[in-house]
Structure formats: C-alpha cells, structure tokens
Structure 1
Amino acid sequence: MKKGLALLVGCTLIIGTILAGCSKDQSPEAAKATDSGKDTKPKILLYNNLKEPTSIDPPIGFDQVSYDIVNNAFEGLTRLGKDHNPEPAMAKEWKVTPDGKKYTFTLRDGIKWTNGDPVKAADFEYAWKRLLDPKTASDAAFLAYPIEGAEAFNSGKGSADDVKVKAVDDKTLEVTLAQPASWLIGMVSSPAFFPVNKAVVEKNAKWAGEAATIVSNGPFTITEWKHDSELKMVKNDQYWDAANVKLGGVTYKMVNDSNTAYQLYSTGELHTTGSIPADLSEKLFAENKVTVEDAAGTAFYRFNTKMEPFNNVNIRKAFIAAVDRQKLVDLVLKQKQKPADGYVSPGLKDPAGGDFRKVGGSLIKFDAAEAKQLLAKGMQEAKYTTLPEVTLTYNTNDVSQRIAQAVQAMFKDNLGIDVKLANKEGKVMTDEQKKLQLQLSRSSFLPDFADPINFLDGFQSTNPFSRTGWVNASYDKLIKDAYNEPDEKKRFALMHDAEKILMDDAPILPLYFYNTAYMQSEKLEGVVRHAFGFVDFKWANLK
C-alpha cells in the first residue's frame, strides 16, 4: 500500500438503510428532486471503516482505513475503473515518448475543487513534490522514486527543482522518469498521487483534520467528521462525472469489532458486511450467503532484526517454520484465505502470462521438526541456554487477537516457547515499529498498483516501510536493478531473486494472502472492491 496497514481480514463493510426525506447531508441534486415533487430520496450508504483514519491528507494517510476514504473524496490523473484497469480521470488523455520515460498528461476542462477553485496541473506538481519533501515524512514517498530526481530529493540529497514534474500550463503536466515504469498509469490512480489545493494547504497546515477545512476533488465531499465515531460524505456536484454518481452520500462508521458489525447486518439494519464470525462461517458459506472475490495483499509479522533473539536468522526461520498457515486459515479465519507461501500474493501476471506467485513457488513452509532444528542451531550460534523472552504485539481488534493466540499456541506446541502477547492501538504500534521498539509485531501490506515491485521495494534498507532493521546489500541491488531493467522478462527474474533473498533472510513471517469475503443485500449494487487498490463507491447504488 508500500503500505503499512493494521488491517483485519479484508475490508469490512456495513451498509445502512436509505435515509428518508431531505437532510442537511443530501446533495443539492437530491434536494432539488425532492422539492420538485419527485419520489427521490438521498441514498446514503453506510460503510464500516473499522476505526479513525490516520489522515485524510493523501501523502500522510498511507493505510487502508485512510485511503478507503481518500479514494472517494479525491481523484488523481487516472482512476481504477469497474474492470480494475486505470482509465482517464482528472486527466482526459496522456502521451508517452517511445523510450517510455516522458509522460505528458492533459487535464480535463472545467474540473474543480469543492470550494470552486479550478483544479490545475500546478496542484499536481505541488502535491507530488510535497509527497517527496523530507519535511512531509510520507511513508508513501518511495512510490514516486521512478520519477527523475525523486529519490534524491526525498533522501535529502537533491532539491524539489530537480524533481522532473512540471506544470507546463494549467492543463498540462509533464513527468520525466529516471527509467521506464510500465506501471506508472496505474500507480498514479493511488491516493498518494492525488492532488491537493496548494492555496488551502499553505494557508492551513491542519487543513485535513476537520470536515470544515477539507477541500477535495472526487465523487464525494466530506461534510461531517465525528472523530473515532463516523465520517460523512455527500455527492460532490462539482465533480466532472457527477452524472454517473448515483449515491447521495456515504457515511463511514468506525466499528472495530467484527461480531458487532455482523449483528448489525443480521438484524436487517445493514446491507452488507465483511464481518463473518468464525463460528458461523461454515454454515454461511454452505448456504451461499457469502461472496468471495480475489484480492491482493499479505498479512504478516515483522521481526525486529536488531533486537534479541531475532538478530539471529535461524531463530527467525524457526519461528516461520513453526506456524501452520493452513490450520490458521481453516480453523481460525475461516474465510477461505490462502496460506502464504511467500511474500508476493497471487494475481500478478508475468510477461509470459504466468502468475508471479506460482512461478516463484513455495518459499516457506510449515515443518515442526525443522523448526526445532533451526531453533537449536540459532540458539547455539547466539550462545543461548535459554531463549530471551519474546513478546508478540498485535493491533487491537478481535480478529488480530484470535490470530495472535493461535500463533502463540503454535510456538508453544512446535518450539516449546512461551510467547507473551501484547495489544496496542494501530497508530501506536506503527510508531513503535518505526522506532524498532517491538520484537515481533503484526503488519499487513495491500498493494497500491499491480506489479510485484510494489511488494518488494518496501524492504530495501532505506525504505521506511521496512520497520525491521533488516539490511541486505544484494537485495537492495536487485530491487534497484529491477527498477532500471527495461526488459520485462529480465525484470521479473530479478524480482524473483529478490523475493527468495527476502524469504531466506527472513525479516518477516508471512501468514496468509488476503481475499474479499462479504455478505450483501440484493438492494446494493455497483461497489467496486479493487484487488490492487481501494474500495470505490463512485458507481455504487441502492435500489
């Protein structure tokens, strides 16, 4: 996402009933229809966002709970369409030079911010350079590294003027890459690359903190934000494609308990939910009440390779081999996820048409006997007679707790180790991961665009996403070479080699690959759940 997430087992959705009558949250279009005597009521979709977003500021809120909101309030040069492929959005068209290094985007006529200001190419130039500014400290900045001068500016070795993003005029944005990046058009549909209104941001540093000061350019506009409770959006009639936005608005609830969410759905108060209780899972799946769609991303634990005992690679590999991932997805999660046998999840095609995961093969496996041997070897190398105390930290919610308890039992059964558990609020845990204060802690990754490089570049030694303390010069070089390699077949080979090093050096413990499992009323249609992106309500409707 790349992306550091404290996600559950996918996106949990809660959809409520259509609100009756006129309200202050309905769009002007809906109000006019009501006033004219038409039987048109604002259709308000209620969605469970789990918890408070980290930030609505595009380069800051680099996680699912933030970007599922940002993706509907803002829009970039491109947008992932109903078929999950990028299509024109703020940009009506673009041209690419034969060498694949220079992109020229032409913006649509008449596009506006919610405050009425025109959206200009300068807003994109400002936003992208702000994303890269070291002062912004965005965890998403590395996504822009293919742009010439981007990495140097972000690392403090260059200036903003060296970043080759230029607003030629109000309608034309030129982007020059250091090397070809076949994924660029899809990547700029990610919220990290959304524009911000320069005048608004420079006037108020806290512009993204309250509904009253947020200015956006997407299908919906934020009208109310009760922190840690709910956030409301209404249809943005300034949006260039407002005619195809059918909802009157979206209300994001913040219910961080799967059983509560399911109960709301089961009593008929909600139209859809991704919360499927484990004890009812088998019955609900058997009754065909659950829809399962392909998704992308990986749930995993991070080892702190600078902290004992995980500064020893064989001890890390012992913990990996001790986890029965098939049992985890079958008996704990029960939503038909796939056990992780590598880090890059399925669904990414290589130049020959194969799947990256299948071609790469199984790079990790459950083997209790081998786990014990690796532990003994690691303890001998580290000269331990007793393993130092280990604490596994997870983000506070019931699903993460069940997973942690199951893994704790596996460590006990397969390694003879008593691991302590600790839970922390997601923001706190992420902050402590960045400071390398945790031994072993939960994480997840959801990709921002459909290319394996998006998974793998996050573990370069200089990437803030890593949060493991792991450094491997060979890995860093392979990722750098992959970025510079124009031949797709060779580029994929480099990425396969990199993933093998990642799994062999073991700074992370993969758990399972995500899918999207949900229950939904027949009244709801048109919600697009992107495997390589975020939930999109632009085309949603309540019949």
Structure 2
Amino acid sequence: MSLSWKKGLGTVASIGMIGALLAGCGTNSTSPASSNGTNAGGTSSDSSKPVEGGSITLDSTQAVPDLDPAVAFDTTSAEVDEAVYQQLVTYDKGSYNIVGSLAKNWEVSQDGKTYTFHLRDDVKYSNGDPMVASDFVFELQRLLDKKMQPKPSPGSQFFLDIEGAQAYYDGQAKTISGVKTPDDHTLVITLVKPEQFFLKILAMPFLSAVDPKFVKQVGNAKLDTSEAMGTGPFEVQTNNQNEVVLVRNPNYWQKDSDGNKLPYLDKVTINVNNNEQVDALHWEQGQTAFMSPWLMGGDGIPPSAYPTIMTKYKSDVLKQPQNSIYYIGLNMKPTLDGKPNPLSNLKVRQAIEYATDDSQFIKINNGAVEGLNQPLPNTMDGYVKNLDPSATYKYDVSKAKELMKEAGYANGFTAEYWNENNPTDKKDDQAFQSMLSQIGIKLDIHEVTWKDFLTKAMSGTAQMYWSGWQQDFPDASDFLNTLFNSNQIEPGNNMNNYSNPQVDQWLNEAEYSTDSQQRDELYAKVINKVMSDAAWVPTIQNVGYYTIQPWVHGFYTSPVMYDPFGTIWVDPGHNS
C-alpha cells in the first residue's frame, strides 16, 4: 500500500445540497472553536481551556515534493501547504459544508454562473503584506500558464470553465476575461456554464492567496522548495529531505471563539523517516504527537504496527473514512520507449485482472484495509453495487493463462513496474510480482522516492505502476473524470493514456448535470465500461485511522481536510 497519494485535493454530499450552495449565498466565515475537536481517549473535555505556546514533533514517511500550492498535487505536500496557505472558502470542521475562509461571504447569480466574493480586509501574509483581490487573479494566471517554469500546474484543468480561461491557457489572450476585481476586497468569477461543485474546487489548495510581490522576488523554483509565503497559521522555517519545520505566523488573522489568537502552537517539526516501524515506536514512546493518513500515508497506522496499536491503544485511535483508493496502472500506449507495448492488448489487461488476488494485499496490511473492485470507494455516491458481468473479475489463474494465450503471449513477456520505496509497498510489489509470474509476466520492479515516482508516472511513460487516488473534492467526477477522461492525458492525471470517446461523452455529460439520478446512471456506465476495458486493476481502499496522544487537544478528523495544525494545543509544559 502506497504511503502517499497522488491527489485528484466520507460520503459525498448529495447533489441537492451542492445545488443549494450554487443557488444561494455563502455563509459568513466561522472561527474554529477553542477546543471542541474530538480528543482521543476522552482525556480532555470540550470545556478545557486552550494553552498557548508549546510545540509538537511528528514523523512523515516522505519529504514534501512541492510547497507551491499551484503545483502541489499530492497528499504529503498538501498536509504542509494547508498549514501555510488559505483559499477563498474551506470546509467546516468535520463536515462537507462549505464556509468562508479568506472570503467573508459571497453571492451566486441566478443563472449559477457568476460568483461574487467579498474578502476579509484584515488578512496579511506572514511577511506583513496585505492580501487583496488581485492576488487571486495573479495565482489563477499562474495556474493557467502552461509554460510556467520550472513546471506548470497540474491543477489547470479544474479552472478551465472560468470564462476566458481556455483562451488564456492556449495563449490566445493576455487576461482572463471571467475574473474581475471591482475593488481590493471584491473578486468576481464568471463561469462559461454552471458547475455545481465549483465552490469545492475553490476549497482545494490550488487557488490559494499568494503574494505576487514575493513570488516575483524569489521566483517559482524557490517558492516550490524553500520560500513559501501564505496567509495560513504557520510559515515555513525549514524544508528539506530530512525535516519540515513550521513556526507560528505572527500576522495570522484568525481567532478562536473566545477571541484568542490562533494558532496555539509555536512550532511543528515534521521529521522525514520512511521506516514505518520506527515511526510507530516513536509514537508509542510519546515522542510524536500523532500519526495520521496524511503523515503516514495509507490508513494512518503503519500496517506492521496495526495489531499492536489496535490492541493496546485503541482508546487513542480515531477513525475517519478516507475516500481513497489504490490501483495498479496499466499503460495502454501502443508503444513505450519505441517498443510495442503488450498492455495495449485488451486480453492481456484482462488476464492481469484475473491473475490479481486482492486478498493478499489485505493480508499484507493486517486487515486494516478493504477490498476494491472498481475506481470508486464504496463510501461515495456513484459507487456501483452490482457491476456488469463483463466488468467483474475474480481471481482465476486458469482464465488468465487462457487470455494470455489468446492474446499471443502464451510465453509471457517482461514489463517495467514502478512504485514508491517503502517497506509495505515492497511487500505489495513482491506479492504482485509472484501473481503475474504464474501467467508468464516478469516484472522488472523500480522502487523510487515518491517525488521520482510522480515524475515518471505523470509523464505517461510508466508501463505498470502501483498508485492511489485521494479525493480533491467530494464528488465522483474527481475520480472518474480526472482519471479516465482523455482530456486528462496531457495534464498527467490519466496516467494510463486511457481514451474511449463513449466514456468521454458520458463523463462530459455528467460533469455539468444537475440531476443526481442521471449523474449516477452515467457514472455507472463509465465504471462498467472502464472495468470491462480493464483500464487498471483496483486493489484496496483505505479506512483512515488517527492515533492521538492524550496530551494533544483540539484535534479533529475530517472527511475532506488535512490535520488541523491551527487548532491543536498541548498540555502545559509539554513539548514533544
């Protein structure tokens, strides 16, 4: 099981609820309560008074690939970025409800296409520069600059429905016509057509407030690696391959319900250590404040430690559905590196489906995960309970061998296989390698850093690979449209190079439908077709676990957001 997810950034909110958000006004921003997060083990009550100061230490399995919110597209990066940067809107604590963040409130036009955001006038970046509406225009231009160096934003596709965005992206316009700033604290965004989940897209890290003057001063490369500058509760003091150090933003605007300035903590230190057994030991010894899916990857508890922690420390464990899945990618390009690609043959891909025994992956993870038979977790609207027979695969080596023979590969072939280099993934890789060896496919395994894996897979040149997807926003389109629409091949999200005109038509129709039943029907067609085409092999889905020290307070889980560094406080005098 991969310890990090590529982002697409609980159960999906109903279409009716999303429609209501579209048609009505935004609500006023809500400050987090002083200490009403869920605390593990019941060691502190809701009436506990927060304590300012102190620090926490955490372990993370991977270094942060990207600090720049315009290009960050993985969970490891987003964990840190969301402590440093903020967006117009966000999710209310522990729910799918959209509330204001840097926007105090907003209105949506009757036709559902124009959003008018009224921004807070008391927000400063951590360097003291004031935040203004034009900062979002600047960031949107960065998102839509396909030639941005050192690398363009993988999030551009989420914003192409803004009026004039496509023309700007294509280099046919110098401005984005659908974005206006009547004054420093008003931002108007007009869409080409209504998009029911647009507010959820705005809650993603991509369109964060960034300081144009600062970005121009340090350059994109440094902004992505060491010189982050946001309006969030923390600022980056250190970011390297060994650790990330966050310190309190002295200019942070938000307060708790009692009027106390946030954040409470002075410092958060995240040590990079991909030895999951050591990570678990550090927590058991009290050296680290908590473990979570965002830091540890997967389900949050390292698989090797899962039996012990669930036995000895169950009262310190919180559970939160993750809406995240894992799969084995099968690249369909006819040729790779100038050589014919056997995976372009449907029968070969179907043979791999039949040769894959998902139960082994569940055993490797000590039962902490669930099986998966399609590209949606069973916690989301759109999940198909009964797949078509042509889209259903059961472990059957004899059937797999028969398909390999029919495809002309009775003697098998060698395939390149890519994954992240961590202990659990190595076990998964070895298990999969053994499965495919039974049908004559020899895997040449490449286990690399998370950053190098992303570079290879997103280039569309990885022949086979193990990867995962964590929702960007709670809607089936974020999985299906992002991963299987042929227009996602170039941005690097459709890493399999899957292209089916009928699937594209269904996806494009569902993307803008406001009829929940119609959307579910269209997505069911997509899922069945994608699986009958054996586009990739679904393996397991996550159940998120969080282990929280009794001396940590203000922590809460969310079906959408990352760990709440801004509201955490620790017992007086305690420094981990």
TM-score, length-scaled by structure 1? 0.85
* Inter-partner Cα distance in structure 2 for 1:339 and 1:375: 23
1:86 deviates by 2.3
Partner of residue 296, structure 1: 323
Partner of residue 140, structure 1: 155
Q: For residue 489 of structure 1, give the secondary structure of its aligned residue in structure 2.
A: helix
Q: For residue 346 of structure 1, give the secondary structure of its aligned residue in structure 2.
A: coil
For the 8 Å contact 1:315–1:375, the answer to whether it is kept is no
For the 8 Å contact 1:79–1:89, the answer to whether it is kept is yes
1:182 deviates by 1.9
* Inter-partner Cα distance in structure 2 for 1:196 and 1:467: 29
Equivalent in 264, 267, 279 of residue 246 of structure 1: 264
1:288 deviates by 5.4
Equivalent in 485, 499, 516 of residue 471 of structure 1: 499
1:277 deviates by 4.8
1:467 deviates by 1.5
Q: For residue 283 of structure 2, give the secondary structure of its aligned residue in structure 1.
A: helix
What are the superposed Cα offsets for residues 451-506 of structure 1, whole Å, 9 maximum, x if unpaired?
Answer: 11111122222212112122111112222212232333323322222222222222
What are the superposed Cα offsets for residues 14-43 of structure 1, whole Å, 9 maximum, x if unpaired?
Answer: xxxxxxxxxxxxxxxxxxxxxxxxx97732
Equivalent in 108, 122, 127 of residue 96 of structure 1: 108
Partner of residue 333, structure 1: 365
Q: For residue 462 of structure 1, give the secondary structure of its aligned residue in structure 2.
A: helix
| Pair 1:408 & 2:405 matched | no
- Call closer, same or farther: CA 1:143–1:335 in 2, change over 3 Å: farther
* Inter-partner Cα distance in structure 2 for 1:40 and 1:526: 10
Q: For residue 246 of structure 2, give the secondary structure of its aligned residue in structure 1.
A: strand
Partner of residue 197, structure 2: 183
1:8 deviates by 6.9
Partner of residue 281, structure 1: 306
1:296 deviates by 1.2
For the 8 Å contact 2:384–2:524, the answer to whether it is kept is no
Q: Which sections of structure 1, spanning at least 5 residues, go unmatched?
A: 11-38, 349-354
1:152 deviates by 4.4
1:339 deviates by 1.1
For the 8 Å contact 2:59–2:288, the answer to whether it is kept is no
Partner of residue 77, structure 1: 88
* Inter-partner Cα distance in structure 1 for 2:52 and 2:562: 27
For the 8 Å contact 2:57–2:271, the answer to whether it is kept is yes
Query: Which is further off, 197-206 or 439-448?
Result: 197-206
* Inter-partner Cα distance in structure 2 for 1:525 and 1:516: 19
Partner of residue 67, structure 1: 78
1:51 deviates by 2.0
* Inter-partner Cα distance in structure 1 for 2:106 and 2:385: 33
Partner of residue 376, structure 1: 402
Aligned partner of 2:359: which letter? Q
* Inter-partner Cα distance in structure 2 for 1:118 and 1:405: 53
What are the superposed Cα offsets for residues 100-159 of structure 1, whole Å, 9 maximum, x if unpaired?
Answer: 1111110012111111111111001111121111113211111223323334433x2643
Aligned partner of 2:125: which letter? W
Aligned partner of 1:76: which letter? Q
Higher relative contact order (CA 8 A, sep 6+): 2
Partner of residue 457, structure 2: 433
Equivalent in 184, 191, 215 of residue 170 of structure 1: 184
Equivalent in 404, 418, 432 of residue 393 of structure 1: 418
* Inter-partner Cα distance in structure 2 for 1:431 and 1:9: 11
Q: For residue 135 of structure 2, give the secondary structure of its aligned residue in structure 1.
A: helix
1:512 deviates by 1.1
Partner of residue 18, structure 1: none
Aligned partner of 1:135: which letter? K
Equivalent in 193, 206, 209 of residue 207 of structure 2: 193
Partner of residue 141, structure 2: 129
For the 8 Å contact 2:57–2:287, the answer to whether it is kept is no
Query: Which is further off, 69-78 or 191-200?
Result: 191-200
For the 8 Å contact 2:303–2:424, the answer to whether it is kept is no
1:416 deviates by 5.1
Equivalent in 502, 509, 512 of residue 537 of structure 2: 509
TM-score, length-scaled by structure 2? 0.80
Q: Using the aligned pairs only, state the percent identity.
A: 22
1:418 deviates by 3.8
Partner of residue 31, structure 1: none
Q: For residue 364 of structure 2, give the secondary structure of its aligned residue in structure 1.
A: helix
Q: For residue 93 of structure 1, give the secondary structure of its aligned residue in structure 2.
A: strand
- Call closer, same or farther: CA 1:192–1:325 in 2, change over 3 Å: same
Aligned partner of 1:273: which letter? M
Query: Which is further off, 127-136 or 144-153?
Result: 144-153
Query: Which is further off, 93-102 or 501-510?
Result: 501-510
Equivalent in 349, 370, 384 of residue 316 of structure 1: 349
For the 8 Å contact 1:200–1:207, the answer to whether it is kept is no
For the 8 Å contact 1:53–1:66, the answer to whether it is kept is yes
* Inter-partner Cα distance in structure 2 for 1:359 and 1:368: 19
* Inter-partner Cα distance in structure 1 for 2:179 and 2:444: 49
* Inter-partner Cα distance in structure 1 for 2:302 and 2:253: 41
* Inter-partner Cα distance in structure 1 for 2:228 and 2:442: 48
For the 8 Å contact 2:303–2:368, the answer to whether it is kept is no
- Call closer, same or farther: CA 1:277–1:170 in 2, change over 3 Å: closer
Partner of residue 469, structure 2: 445
* Inter-partner Cα distance in structure 2 for 1:238 and 1:279: 42
